[in-house]
Chain A
Amino acid sequence: MPQPEPSPRPVQILIVEDNPADARLVREVMRDSKILNEIHWVPDGVEALDFLYQRGKHAKAPRPNLIFLDLNMPRKDGRAVLTEVKADEVLRRIPVVVMTSSQAEEDVARAYDAHANCYVRKPIDFQQFHQVVKTLENFWFSTVELPVR
């Protein structure tokens, strides 16, 4: 199987996650990635939308290629962000990976109802967490084709 060519331009990943330690964990896993990547982190839904619409201090934010979205956050939660992103004609092309510690069936169903691209439960064990992030990276950046813009 051919190894993916390191892309000249780094892939942009937005992490929407209120827990900095959790965001950092994704960053740590991605650090060893063969794929050149840039990780951006925002702590809640309000800032996530500022980032996506390039508002305020995120005026120069790049358009992310992938969004990791937590569900339970202060101010504006992940469900609201998901709904707004998927209602926007441009933003809805960005794959959104809902990544949460909730295993409530209702949360899973509602996320897909709101057109989440996938729903992943954060594994409690670090090795498994590592595995999951690697799998996601491989799937979204090597297996599937993403829209150019």
Chain B
Amino acid sequence: MNAAAVVRGLGVIAAAGLLFRRSPPSAEPINESARMLLDLPVGVLLLLDDDQRVLYANTRIERFLGYSPGEVEGRRLPELFDPRDRSQIVTLLQDHVPGDPTVSGEFRGRRKDGSVVPLQVVAQSAVVTEMRGSKVSGVYLRDFAERERLVEALASRAAQLARSNRELEQFSYIASHDLQEPLRMVGSYTQLLEQRYGPQLDDDAREFLRYAREGATRMRELIDALLSYSRLDTRAEPFQRVAADDVLNLALTNLRGALLQSGAIVHRTPLPTVEVDRIQLGQVFQNLLGNSVKFHGPKPPEIWVGAERRGAEWLFTVRDDGIGIPPEYQDRIFIIFQRLHTREEYPGTGIGLAVCKKVIERHGGKLWVESTGVPGEGTTFCFTLPVERAPLPSPPVEEPVVKQSKVEAMSLIEERLKELV
């Protein structure tokens, strides 16, 4: 049993006591947010009077013992256990020294359907408070079997993730090697045919050959795009603090040709410093600005880039005055290879926005589009990045899966406690 976890769990009881005391007995004893807190999935929390009767039980009891809170409230705690364990529980609660949590061994909890579930009782009367002239103490029930199940579920989930990561890496290799091979043959031999026999062929034959060659080229572009998409995770650089202005500068330099050709005007306001994979943020700027340049109306495009603070996040915007995106298509544009135009109208593979979305999401942000779809009213792409990147919890040395989940649950509780108490 992890002693620290018990102590933390008891913090919940302390808070429950406080909440209980704050509410006048006549009023709703537990308010909505308190209920949410007390129902966090860490175990059954009970508040008992000095007769060991249940004053309050959180809804977790339903999963542990099959009773609803209403069904146990008013009953004595020992009644929820096997008759052979009852006297021990009575003693444990009576002998319990205030100020020091008493942790029991394993007791046989009796479920509503009569089946037995191994439970551990944690008594804590340091939080005793007065209510309706009666002392209230907190008791916490833990289920080892449940914990085991949780551990197993987490472990199998972790294994599943590791497997799918391996498959993704495998896929990258297949895409870069095995798929390129046959494609190289198609491309090379159609070129060789055109080169050597082109003059002897008629117009039809040359046209057919051209389509075959273009198909191979297109296929290669798609494979390259797929590969770069899958590498966003496998070939990522560590996050570092960079001036987003520098990242934008580089993106604009890379786009210089297209910007000059289209006569685009870019307006910009100063951008903040952010903690990112700078190459990937560069890709985002380049793809979004590239789209603005590409999808412009009859006149040269005008583009506005800016950022503003929104609480714990930076909100970046890239706005243009181009052809816009009708609302009915807006959820499709972030899917890989989805395109809204023929290649003759606007060339491209349809990877750009899928890459942007994946990059922003793996940085803990969101990316979305705002557009009326009316040509000339343009499109605004918005994305967020956290202002401060939360430091990762120190890596667990042993039992990584269990501790991690416990730490998360506990810090969540502590957060809620700070808000409430």
Question: Chain A: residues with CB nearer than 8 A to chain B?
Answer: 19, 21-22, 25, 28, 101-104, 122, 124-127, 129
In the complex the two chains form, what is the Cα distance from A21 to B181 in whole Å?
11
Q: Which of B173, B189, B191 contacts A21 (CB 8 A)?
A: B189
- Enumerate B181-201 residues with CB–CB distance to A below 8 Å: 181, 183-185, 187-189, 191-192
A127 to B187, CA, bound (A): 10
Bound form: Cα–Cα A87–B399 in Å: 49
Q: Tell me how far the C-beta of B218 lies from the nearest C-beta in chain A, rounded to whole angstroms.
A: 13
Given the known A-B contacts A101-B177, A102-B177, are A21 and B185 also in contact in the complex, defined by CB atoms under 8 Å? yes
Min CB gap A26→B, angstroms? 11
- Distance to closest chain A CB from B55 (angstroms): 66
Chain B positions within 8 Å of A103 at CB level: 176-177
Report the contact-size class of chain B (Cβ under 8 Å from the partner). 10 to 19
| A79, chain B: closest CB distance, angstroms | 15
Contact A126 B180 (CB under 8 A): no
Q: 4 closest A-B pairs (Cβ-Cβ)?
A: A126-B191, A126-B188, A21-B185, A124-B184
A-B contact pairs, 19 of them (CB 8 A): A19-B181, A21-B185, A21-B188, A22-B184, A22-B185, A25-B192, A28-B192, A101-B181, A101-B184, A103-B177, A104-B173, A122-B184, A124-B180, A124-B183, A124-B187, A124-B220, A125-B187, A127-B191, A129-B188
A78 to B289, CA, bound (A): 46
The 8 Å CB contact of B187, one of A19, A28, A101, A126, is A126
- CB nearest neighbor in B for A124: B184
Closest residue on chain A to residue B216 by CB atoms = A124
Nearest A-chain residue to B220, judged by Cβ: A124
Cβ B191 vs Cβ A19 within 8 A: no
Residue of A nearest to B173 (CB): A104
Q: With the chains together, A19 CA to B181 CA distance in Å?
A: 9
Min CB–CB distance A78 → chain B (angstroms): 14
Name the B residues within 8 Å of A22 (CB-CB): 184-185
Rounded to whole angstroms, the CA-CA distance of A127 and B192 in the bound complex is: 9
Minimum CB distance partner of B186 in chain A: A21
Look across to chain A and name the residue whose beta carbon is closest to the beta carbon of B181: A101
| A104 to B180 CA separation, bound complex (whole angstroms) | 14
Knowing A101-B177, A124-B220, A126-B192 touch, does A19 contact B185 (C-beta < 8 A)? yes
A-contacting residues, B158-192, CB 8 Å: 173, 176-177, 180-181, 183-185, 187-189, 191-192
Q: Knowing that A28-B192, A101-B184, A124-B220 touch, tell me 8 more A-B residue pairs with CB under 8 angstroms.
A: A22-B184, A22-B185, A25-B188, A124-B183, A126-B187, A126-B191, A127-B191, A129-B188
Chain B residues with CB under 8 A of A127? 191
- Nearest CB in chain A: distance from B213 CB, A: 9
- In the complex, the chain B residue whose C-beta lies closest to that of A28 is B192
Contact B188 A101 (CB under 8 A): no
Contact partner, B180, options A19, A21, A28, A101, Cβ 8 Å: A101
Complex formed: what's the CA distance from A126 to B184 in Å? 8
Measured between beta carbons, the chain A residues less than 8 angstroms from B183 are 124
- The chain B residue with its CB closest to the CB of A128 is B188
Bound together, the chains give a CA A101 to CA B220 distance in angstroms of: 14
A128 to chain B, nearest CB (A): 10
Contact digits for B219-250, partner A, Cβ 8 Å, 1 yes 0 no? 01000000000000000000000000000000
Q: How far does the Cβ of A124 sit from chain B's closest Cβ, in whole Å?
A: 5
Identity of the chain A residue whose Cβ is nearest the Cβ of B176 in the assembled complex: A103
Contacts of A28 in B (CB 8 A): 192
- On chain B, the residues within 8 Å of A25 by CB distance are 188-189, 192
Bound-complex Cα distance A13 to B182 (A) = 24
Q: Which B residues lie within 8 Å of A122 (CB)?
A: 184
A102 contacts across to B, CB distance below 8 A:
177
A127 CB to closest chain B CB (Å) equals 7
How far does the alpha carbon of A124 sit from the alpha carbon of B175 in the complex, in Å? 13
Contacts of B176 in A (CB 8 A): 103
